[in-house]
Structure 1
């Protein structure tokens, strides 16, 4: 699934004005800039707008609908809400909202007699049931990918666009791939209309759409520090999959035929089957690139066995895997003969699948536990003078020396009625902004 409608919805959602913001230095909490300086601190406002929009769509009367589907309207509102929650760092709430959107979409498809847009294939399900599971090994995902990457020219990894955890894994993987000679990082998320942001030494709000999310900003900041060559390949065209592959050919392989490339994309763009030479209209970007380049990419799927459930079958299989194998970190399931187990997806589509534990909120930081275990960020107390006296406040964290148009590297919502969360930050010095 390529989620083309999701991109359109988000483009509309994120086009907003820029209000004033208060800046605070980390050391001594002194003001960094005059009150007239303005930052893009409107994410809490957007969240409230999407919450109000959801309530409005739910309350539409039949007369107001004018024959349109209420489920369609409400599903779209949940999609707005899920991505707004993702952009303020609330992954758990984002998952809940998107799962609601998926459920409504499936209900609409059933009413219309359509096949599900996100089919759950059986894959290797029989390997994780009964005695067969005794022959399954649980392997570290990063180590297994690096082992395969040493003899590959293209590594592809997908993500769920509202799940920042996937970007933390991509950041960790990128560091290891760089160490073994990979030099190009190509991301669907980069804007196809403006190459200039890619030349900056920081992530700005002009770089792209999904890069507005703090974990994605950390991923790209880390890539910039590691001297990756950043490549945009998105193609907002009618033949999107083919044109994305053509962009990769034009920008990388025609200039550097031996290039070692890490391609990061959403959902089904990384699927290698059906092949482009047999079903070109249905072939995804990975299959198109394989046809054009003659290079067989090694593709890794990380959306099916994450805590986002596109169907009851997927949810049941995820729970079964967690119960049988006690997954505690991003892992790969493999048979003793070396076959990588892939669940809920056809075998020819991808080469490997990552299985995630269901990370809970950490009892000390009150943030998702993966921020420390995968991203390797450290907890830091929110400066006391930034805390709200009542209500809620969104705290923005920026790298100290980043320009004013930089994307925040952490966001945390403080509610005086709930336990106080901590900031989760990489190494460095920081400045802060608030939004009430």
Structure 2
């Protein structure tokens, strides 16, 4: 499953990082190297995987396609261990060029994205939101939208990241590691629990041999799965679909095939085009201009004087959502709080064994994805963890996964 998800992510995030290669050659080279990467990281803890990926990045520094894949893998792994800045930096090392300023944004106004999307959502049956897989922040938008969309009649949450039929095995109060690849990231796990607690029916759809059969085969299969699982039985269903990268595009990706198959026009929301980077020099000129000329502390979208949503690529998607630059407390992104309390980590829990991993659990089930996870590299690193009334314990492990300390919260 991990192989399928990585290859699929590479297909959707393919950029000009390999200008001299075709798309097919790029994927072929990556697949050849992936066996080596999988063998080196299989069975390793997340902190061990980061070190292995760093070493492999040095080894393959002259192989552009493989190096690009390793940076993506590193960025995703950093996101799993709560290191947002490092995740951004890994992706920013790829050879993508900052985009020029869209001049029209200077005449547009900002509007709270959650409020505006909920307000207009009643006009649609399908609402699609994308994410960059190494940016858990993008899952927070969907998290914040759920309550308002429920009140607008939305009852299904379909997720690219769920493994086949995982919805039939998920408990309501925790997420299993078997639920998917990206769902082992704590913010994603919290999104799934929150959705189920509100009453949403979760739906998997992105699985099968078609995932490696090219974009068209994969997208047609996904649209077919969604139609059969939801719309054949409930034609008037209102559905949120949380996807990666380009799947929201209405010009040959999933949004297009859903529109063609169901004769329904989805509201397509892009978070990845105008986004925060690890450093200002990597930002698009549009992002820099917006955050420096508008004051906002929550995600926004842009509107014209007639309150029409602005899109940087209207032929592909309906609206861009822009997040402010991340603010940190105790080295944790404020957007990851999700209404929880930020608790200072007692560094003595690590017992002078670094890196150490600090994880918060609801139930401490055998394969439970923690509600929060961070890796602390040194004793001088001030860190915090997010806890809530449902948190039962904090578990600290060393790089090998051996338990160093357990702190009971109930």
Query: What TM-score does the superposition give when structure 2 sets the normalisation length?
Result: 0.81
Partners of 1:90 and 1:72 lie apart in 2 by 24
Give the secondary structure class of the aligned counterpart of 1:147. helix
Query: Measured at CA, do residues 53 and 244 of structure 1 come closer, stay the same or move farther in structure 2, by a change above 3 Å?
Result: same
Alignment match of 1:46 (pick from 42, 49, 55): 49
The aligned residue for residue 367 of structure 1 is 332
Matched, 1:141 2:113: yes
The aligned residue for residue 97 of structure 1 is 90
Question: 1:414 Cα shift?
Answer: 2.0
Alignment match of 1:429 (pick from 384, 391, 407): 391
Partners of 1:386 and 1:290 lie apart in 2 by 53
Within 5 Å, give how 1:281-300 maps onto structure 2: 283-300=252-269
Question: 1:80 Cα shift?
Answer: 1.9
Matched, 1:244 2:222: yes
The aligned residue for residue 373 of structure 2 is 411
- Please list the CA deviations of residues 144-177 of structure 1 after superposition, one character each: whole Å capped at 9, or x if unmatched: 0001112211111010000011112211111221
The aligned residue for residue 187 of structure 1 is 159
Question: 1:430 Cα shift?
Answer: 2.4
Partners of 1:102 and 1:310 lie apart in 2 by 15
Contact 1:2 1:269 in 2 (8 A): no
Alignment match of 1:84 (pick from 77, 83, 89): 77
Question: 1:14 Cα shift?
Answer: 10
Partners of 1:79 and 1:199 lie apart in 2 by 30
- Which structure: larger Rg? 1
Partners of 1:314 and 1:350 lie apart in 2 by 21
Question: 1:326 Cα shift?
Answer: 2.6
Give the secondary structure class of the aligned counterpart of 1:396. strand
Contact 1:271 1:285 in 2 (8 A): yes
Within 5 Å, give how 1:27-426 maps onto structure 2: 42-58=45-61, 70-103=63-96, 125-129=102-106, 133=107, 136-192=108-164, 196-198=168-170, 201-236=173-208, 237=210, 238=213, 239-272=217-250, 274=251, 283-308=252-277, 315-343=284-312, 346-362=313-329, 365-372=330-337, 375-383=338-346, 386-389=349-352, 391-399=354-362, 401-426=363-388
Partners of 2:39 and 2:342 lie apart in 1 by 31
Give the secondary structure class of the aligned counterpart of 1:359. coil
Query: Measured at CA, do residues 383 and 323 of structure 1 come closer, stay the same or move farther in structure 2, by a change above 3 Å?
Result: closer
Give the secondary structure class of the aligned counterpart of 2:169. helix
Partners of 1:409 and 1:138 lie apart in 2 by 32
**Structural RMSD (CA):** 2.9
Matched, 1:3 2:9: yes
In structure 1, stretches of 5+ residues that fail to align are: 19-41, 59-68, 107-118, 275-282
Partners of 1:14 and 1:217 lie apart in 2 by 26
In structure 2, stretches of 5+ residues that fail to align are: 1-6, 14-30, 399-410
Contact 2:172 2:197 in 1 (8 A): no
Question: 1:384 Cα shift?
Answer: 5.8
Matched, 1:16 2:42: yes
Larger helix fraction of residues = 2
Question: 1:353 Cα shift?
Answer: 1.2
Query: What TM-score does the superposition give when structure 1 sets the normalisation length?
Result: 0.77
Partners of 2:84 and 2:379 lie apart in 1 by 20
